[in-house]
Amino acid sequence: MAPELKKIDLLLSEKRIKLHIFEPSQRNIWTVVGTEKEYWFDPDLDFCSCPGYYFNNKCYHLDNFPLAMSQNQIESTTFSDDEYGPFIGSLLSEL
């Protein structure tokens, strides 16, 4: 398998795209697990904090997001709103 396809395959089969839902407000945060760390990812804003997006405005996470959605290869987790602040804090500290 070509390296590019392998990356895409892992992205989907390992459900590296993660949806975090905060209750009861229903706020959503998306992240994607990269090779070295977890990135903040926002399909609505067409944004990803990975190096590919940063340097080239090109990101295979965003490119393959519709595919992951259509195949239901996304992991979603529910949190309480109390955890929203600390969650954002730890996410931003890694950027």
Q: How far is the CB of 24 from Zn ion (least distance, A)?
A: 30
> Which single residue is written with the structure tokens 């529910």?
78
Is the backbone peptide bond immediately before 43 cis, with ω within 30 degrees of 0?
no
> Which single residue is written with the structure tokens 């209750």?
23
Q: Which of 48, 64, 65, 68 binds Zn ion (CB under 5 A)?
A: 48
Write phi, then psi, for 86 (nearest 5 degrees).
-60, -35
* Contacting range for Zn ion; rule: CB under 5 A; set: 7-15, 20-28, 40-48, 68-76: 40-48
Residues 6+ apart with CB under 8 A from 11: 17, 32, 60, 61, 64, 68, 73
Q: Which of 31, 50, 64, 65 binds Zn ion (CB under 5 A)?
A: 50
* Contacting range for Zn ion; rule: CB under 5 A; set: 10-18, 21-29, 42-50, 87-95: 42-50
Residue 8 within binding range of Zn ion, rule CB under 5 A: no
Structure tokens at 21: 């839902």
Q: How far is the CB of 57 from Zn ion (least distance, A)?
A: 11
Binding site for Zn ion (CB under 5 A): 48, 50, 53, 59, 61
